[in-house]
Structure 1
Amino acid sequence: MSLVIKAHEDMEEWNSREDQEAKPINAGPGVKEVGKWQAPPSVLWMGARRLTRLRSPIEAEAEALRWAIISLVRLNYENIIFESDCKELIHALQEKNYRPSIRAYTDDIHHMLDKIRAHRVIFKSKQTNKVADRVAKEAFTYGSNSSVLFSIMPSWIKSYVEADKRIM
């Protein structure tokens, strides 16, 4: 039933949108080398994927990052900042032999990151990233191994995006 309600909300949001002039396509989100990272004015892409049969939370975090990288590589983005609230995964990506149990994931992630011209994978605490938490909860409503990629911010996430902007 909640899936029907979400679909109805998405339909209402789509129907209530204001038509805008066509804008040039952006090559991708920029990477700032100096100063504190600033959130974009709105979410560019947001996705969720339901994962099953993983052995540990760090495997779920690694698989989620892997899927995000694959999705954005397919869209030809060249400048990307990936954020994770899993310090252990960030550490495993920085130190090659830190966590042998997820070595296959970290090797695959490094291989895919090589396809992106400019990238960073950074830690962002759960307290400052309620959007990621809400999207993860949304994924539990999906069928087995289902994934969704949003190019328009759904109405159910807008309040979380605004709250995260105020914290930054």
Structure 2
Amino acid sequence: MVHRHIAKDKSCSRCGAEAETVNHLLFTCPYARLIWAVANVHIPPPGSWSDSFYSKLHWVLNLKQEYPKEQVEEDLTPWIMWRLWKNRNELLFRSKEYTAQMYVEKARDDARVWKSREEVKLKEVKPPAAAIPERRWTPPPQGKLKCNTDATWMQETEVGGVGWVLRDHNGDMLWAGAKRLPDMGSVHETEMEALRWAIRTLAGFGYRNVTFESDSQVLVRMLNNEEEIWPRVKPMIQAISSSPSGMEKVEVAYYPRSGNKIAHRIAKETTMFTSIVPKLYYIVTSGLLSCMEADKSFVEQ
């Protein structure tokens, strides 16, 4: 900040004891040292960090070589440094602070999200054995309704947006919802909030027989006990799994993005919202008309 002539004080924005260098911010600040300790990252054998920034960086990036038999979260290292920098900016510009445990959990969430994206990329790189046709939206059986949900999330600002749409067996829209969400920890949390809000809203409207679809495989696997539930999202998973009063058992199925285009479009539009006030629609908006008609034409076939 001083180098950019924005501030005059060079001291650390947290401890105030030393000049705020990259070395101090990531390693020697008492807050940073507490974070590394909570994350179970060992300091070098002499019991203190070296004065060299590059020596510290080499140490934390090569923990497995030093402690091959211990459970060391080496993959967490880049995300701890990312969070230290990000949380310094949040403290400076937004006066937001986190406990050390909350901080480490956020870093773990970042690592999980990255890993899940990398797994998807690896699957996409593998050449398919045969061409897989695009899966289009399919209507529910007569007498039932279907609600599709989706979410968007920006890591830089931690602002998310959710969208959902309820349709009958003819493909006609009954209701749709959109909402902008600040302070969301990950894309998966935002996907869960999209589903939770849709369930609660439709239950409040008196709908009882609704099937829900999401294009988040992680979310659906957690709900179906096919994947370990992350501690941070456990309350949200429990809220989704417990059916609201009057509504039949909540059924949530995975459906690919190609069959979830309308909910995806609604969620994307929330990036333009300037308010966090939820929006509900019972008339198809002009922006959704072409997508809605495309799905209905498929139903009529």
TM-score normalised per structure 2: 0.41
Secondary structure of 2:272's counterpart equals: coil
Instruction: State the distance in 2 between where 1:124 and 1:166 align.
Output: 19
Q: 1:57 to 1:155 in 2, by over 3 A?
A: same
Contact 2:175 2:281 in 1 (8 A): yes
Rounded Cα–Cα distance in structure 2 between residues aligned with 1:97 and 1:124 = 17
Shift of residue 122, structure 1, vs aligned partner: 1.3
Distance 1:148 1:123 in 2: 25
Aligned to 1:69: 199
**How far, CA to CA, are the matches of 1:136 and 1:78 in structure 2?**
24
Report which stretch shifted further, 89-98 or 49-58. 89-98
Q: Counterpart of 2:295?
A: 164
State the 1:108 CA deviation: 0.8
Larger relative contact order (Cα-Cα within 8 Å, sequence gap ≥ 6): 1
Report the equivalent of 1:41.
171
Structure 1 residues 47-56 or 88-97, which shifts more?
A: 88-97
1:30 corresponds, among 137, 144, 167, to 144
One-letter identity of the residue aligned with 1:148: K
Gaps of 5+ in 1: 1-28, 33-37
1:137 aligns with: 268
Aligned residues: 135
2:221–2:227 Cα contact (<8 Å) kept: no
Matches within 5 A, 1:71-150: 71-95=201-225, 98-100=228-230, 101-113=232-244, 115-117=246-248, 119-150=250-281
Deviations 1:58-99 (Å, cap 9, x if unpaired)? 000000111111110110101111111101100111118722
Is the contact between residue 80 and residue 118 of structure 1 (CA under 8 Å) also seen in structure 2? no
TM-score, with structure 1 as normaliser: 0.71
Distance 1:96 1:153, change over 3 A: same
Q: Structure 2: how far apart are the matches of 1:47 and 1:98?
A: 29
Structure 2: gaps (5+ residues):
1-142, 147-167
Q: Cα offset for 1:118?
A: 5.0
In the other structure, the counterpart of 2:190 is 60
Alpha-carbon distance in structure 1 between the residues aligned to 2:297 and 2:195 = 25
Contact 1:46–1:149 under 8 Å retained in 2: yes
Change (3 A) 1:152 1:110: same
* Aligned equivalents of 1:128, 1:122: Cα separation in 2: 12
The verdict on how the C-alpha distance between 1:163 and 1:74 changes in structure 2, with shifts beyond 3 A counting, is same
Local SS of the residue matching 1:49:
strand
Contact 2:215-2:255 at 8 Å conserved across structures: yes
Distance across 2 between alignment mates of 1:94 and 1:42: 29
2:175, 2:280 within 8 Å by CA — same for their partners in 1? yes
Alpha-carbon distance change, 106 to 77 in structure 1, aligned in 2, over 3 angstroms: same
Does the 8 Å contact 2:243/2:250 carry over to 1?
A: no
Q: State the structure with more CA Rg.
A: 2
User: 1:135 and 1:53, CA in 2 relative to 1: closer, same or farther beyond 3 A?
Assistant: same
Question: What amino acid sits opposite 1:66 in the alignment?
Answer: R
Match of 2:90 in 1: none
Question: Which secondary structure state, in structure 2, belongs to the residue aligned with residue 45 of structure 1?
Answer: strand
